[in-house]
Amino acid sequence: MPTLKFAVLPGDYIGPEVMSEALRVLAHVAKKEGLTLDYQHADVGGAGIDNHGKALPDSTLALCQQADAILFGSVGGPKWEKLPPKEQPERAALLPLRKAFNLFANIRPGLLYSDLTDASPLKTARIPNGIDIVCIRELTGGIYFGQPKTTTKLENGEEQAIDTMVYKTSEIERIAEVAAVTAKARGKKVCSVDKANVLETSVLWRRVVTAYFAKHHPEIALSHMYVDNAAMQLARDPNQFDVLFTENMFGDILSDEMAVICGSLGMLSSASLGTGKNSLGLPFGLFEPAGGTAPDIAGKGIANPCAQILSAAMMLRYSFGLDAVADKIEAAVRLAVATDGVRTGDIAFGKPAVGTKAMADAIIARL
């Protein structure tokens, strides 16, 4: 019986609420599919600060190091907002986790069911069948990490700040590979986004990507787009894309634009894959909803658990190689929401809204 060993880091506010429903769905699936779940909870974010004095306690990191994957909720909120920026839950928990596991590839599906087009700020006529694309963001390089990164005082008394954008061939090739593998399981179409008309790093990016696809994935239709155009095209006709992939800062912005056109954050999952392999020889990854801790609705039992449940499905797919089981969870979410019309408040649009637990019950019923 395959054993799924993962660390559960629920985090703060709605994090634990949606995490317990995702675990209930996983328990149901495990029973049906003959899988053994082997997971332990650990504090992270604000819970880490409150209970251990830091956002990523050593014991939490140690638990993650022994696991094959991390199922993450979300961290942060008003309670810790007055802390210095470097100690804030998100920065002090997620960045070290990304660093510790070299989580270089963020995969965010942009999925909007055709029955939920009301949730999108785009006109339904532009997305009659909803949206189905994937955005892949390089997560450990580029301007967020490049050195030098300084603020200095000039002789004339002005302040000057410098960020440095750096990429090397190997970093570009490994994210290109993730985009190619993702596209192979979908429409075999990849659009690489850069700013090669202005930036040196983008000139290298475009050259390396072109050569990499020509050599390793000639069957995939590769195109290139400048980031300013990509931002427009996402709003104009998102389904022209299949897999969109780009460097860290462009991906930060485009993946959030994609999230907003797909409606509620409560529906969007994500995976961050590391360079390392887990004990099964598969990519170690951190799987989390695209949204945050939603303090405005926390404690009311009304948060949408779908993003967390879909993140658990991504964990089964990427870190445990259980594509068929992941497919079943994704199909059950779609059937519960789109076919059965079971909706939490964020996606109700005039329909009666159910709570977190009832939403998960509907998904379990479909499973």
Give me the least distance between CB of 168 and ligand NAD, in Å please. Answer: 27
Q: Rule CB under 6 A: is residue 228 a binding residue for ligand NAD?
A: no
Q: Rule CB under 6 A: is residue 295 a binding residue for ligand NAD?
A: yes
CA distance 203 to 183: 23
Give me the least distance between CB of 297 and ligand NAD, in Å please. Answer: 5
Give me the least distance between CB of 158 and ligand NAD, in Å please. Answer: 31
Strands 269-277 and 3-11: unpaired
Minimum CB distance to ligand NAD smaller for 26 or for 303: 303
Position with the least CB separation from ligand NAD: 292
Q: What is the CA radius of gyration of the chain?
A: 20
Q: Which of 303, 333, 342, 360 binds ligand NAD (CB under 6 A)?
A: 303
Near ligand NAD by CB under 6 A, which window of 29-37, 69-77, 188-196, 234-242? Answer: 69-77
Near ligand NAD by CB under 6 A, which window of 188-196, 209-217, 222-230, 263-271? Answer: 263-271
Q: Which of 343, 357, 269, 338 is nearest to 309 (CA)?
A: 269
Give kind and range of the element (H or E) at residue 16: helix 14-33
In the region spanning residues 14 to 43, those forming contacts with ligand NAD, defined by CB under 6 A, are: 14, 18
Q: Which of 43, 68, 90, 194 binds ligand NAD (CB under 6 A)?
A: 90
Near ligand NAD by CB under 6 A, which window of 70-78, 96-104, 141-149, 189-197? Answer: 70-78
Q: Which of 109, 238, 285, 291 binds ligand NAD (CB under 6 A)?
A: 291
Give kind and range of the element (H or E) at residue 64: helix 58-66
Positions marked active-site: 144, 195, 228, 252, 256
Q: Rule CB under 6 A: is residue 355 a binding residue for ligand NAD?
A: no
Q: Which of 257, 254, 255 is nearest to 270 (CA)?
A: 255
CA distance 58 to 55: 10
| β-sheet bridge partners, residue 160 | 152
Q: Which of 274, 266, 347 is nearest to 309 (CA)?
A: 266
Q: Rule CB under 6 A: is residue 266 a binding residue for ligand NAD?
A: yes
Q: Which residues does 69 contact at the CB level (< 8 Å), separation at least 6? A: 4, 5, 6, 7, 278, 284, 285, 286, 287, 315, 318, 319, 320
Query: Which parts of this chain interact with ligand NAD (CB under 6 A)?
Result: 14, 18, 74-77, 90, 94, 264-266, 288, 291-297, 303-304, 307, 346
